[in-house]
Amino acid sequence: MASSCNYKPSPIIAICFVAFLLFAPITRVFSASPGNSTLQPSEKMLRYKRVKAHLKKLNKPSLKTIKSPDGDLIDCVPCHLQPAFDHPMLKGQNPSDPPERPKGQNSSSSTIDDAFFLFQAWRDSGESCPDGSVPIRRTKEEDILRASSVRRFGMKPAGRVRRDSTSSGHEHAVGYVMGEQYGAKASLNVWSPRVTSPSEFSLSQIWLISGSFGNDLNTIEAGWQISPQLYGDGSPRFFTYWTTDAYQETGCYNLFCAGFVQTNNKIAIGAAISPTSIYNGRQFDISLLIWKDPKHGHWWLEFGSGILVGYWPSFLFSHLRTHASMVQFGGEIVNTRPSGFHTPTQMGSGHFAGEGFNRAAYFRNLQIVDWDNNLIPISNNLHLLADHPNCYDIRGGSNRAWGNYFYYGGPGRNVRCP
């Protein structure tokens, strides 16, 4: 599918944006919050200025704004003004040419049924952003104030580098493949697991990983997540992430920093997914493919069949500039133990893997991309790991319809997980 960003803005549009920047009123962005109550007046003013500056940096001038039924505001931002192009290495450039797809991947024409995009609440009305723009969920003052600091808004907590750590509070149920990899693909069903603390989250995603589990860890991540701290609600949302130094100073979720380049005008990263799967009822899943374009070296994200979302430029990374050394699929939660007991935050559907189809969360049709840009099924190289199997577990299998697959997840705190 051709990128909606391959255009040059007209002089009239350019003049309009200059006028917007010069004359648009500055919105007051400071209000009372629990963290502000203990601040001195000078500290409040400094925080106010930082929040205001960060909102101005993130919320770019838009051609159009669409109000979502869930309360989100989706701004249709000209492609060349999206946050990625604040990066010094992207300033003044156009998005990369469409990538070379992996062999074995069905190519889609540009006449994809528009109904396919209606998996997000903001598209319920049928509206979409004009060609030459990308939909970006508007960041609000309260979003930033929920973060630990303005500087770390949109970033994961630093120091969460060990996949098998029991002290970091991050718990996983995953399948992974070791070795030199150039991409991964899977279909995963979407649920609305309960997240019981504002500082916890529950997600299901694909990871591409390279480097050691130390300060040089590189990751590319995409999937769905529920994060009350980041989004202010309990809705599952489509997300991306990247880091090149183990989540310390680089990278971010979605488009909260200069990194991921979005090229699609009908999918909003960070917007709520609707519908979701129903226990003992209809299952709703999404297909994601991440792979390294052999021509330009960028890591592209594709949704469904042939729907390009955008890419992570190769220059963002050190180890991932060449290839991944591990591909990982599965679920993750944060367990803050606010009451001294294990959190009841759910992973996946909130039910254990043994409950199977229609009840448990799954990943199916697991595939990887090899050195020659071939999309191939995972054979016997898939390893399964559950950090705390009494809280969240995982069970794998293989059949003709689903290829390699696994069920995963759980309720968190229960009689076997105190």
Instruction: State the catalytic residues.
Output: 221, 332
Query: Could you give the CA distance from residue 363 to residue 138 in angstroms, rounded to a whole number?
Result: 31
Query: Could you give the CA distance from residue 47 to residue 153 in angstroms, rounded to a whole number?
Result: 13
Tell me the C-alpha to C-alpha distance, in Å, between residue 235 and each of 167, 200, 205, 225, 386. 27, 13, 16, 8, 25
170 class by beta-carbon count within 10 Å (0-12 exposed, 13-18 middle, 19+ buried):
buried
The amino acid sitting at 120 is: Q
Contact 355, 417 (CB under 8 A): no
Q: Which residue in the block uniquely carries the two structure tokens 């955008």?
A: 310
Query: Could you give the CA distance from residue 240 to residue 270 in angstroms, rounded to a whole number?
Result: 8
Give me the sign of the Cα torsion angle 217, 323, 318, 202: negative
β-sheet bridge partners, residue 377? 367
Q: H/E element holding 45? A: helix 41-58
Contact 233, 211 (CB under 8 A): no
Query: Using DSSP, how many helices (H) and how many strands (E) does the chain show?
Result: 4, 19
The per-residue DSSP string of 248-290 comes to: SSS-EETTSSS--EE--SS--BTPBB-S---TTS---EEEEEE
Give the CA diameter of the chain.
Answer: 66
Query: Could you give the CA distance from residue 166 to residue 391 in angstroms, rounded to a whole number?
Result: 13
**Rg (the chain; Cα; Å):** 21
Please list, in sequence order, all residues whose beta carbon lies within 8 angstroms of the beta carbon of residue 125, skipping any fewer than 6 positions away.
66
Q: What is the dihedral of CA 6, 11, 16, 21, to 10 degrees?
A: 80
Query: Could you give the CA distance from residue 113 to residue 100 in angstroms, rounded to a whole number?
Result: 22
Residue whose C-alpha is closest to residue 297's, from 320, 273, 326, 331: 320
What does the buried/exposed string (b/e) look like for 295-308 if buried means 16 or more CB atoms within 10 Å of the residue's CB?
Answer: eebbbbbbbbebbb
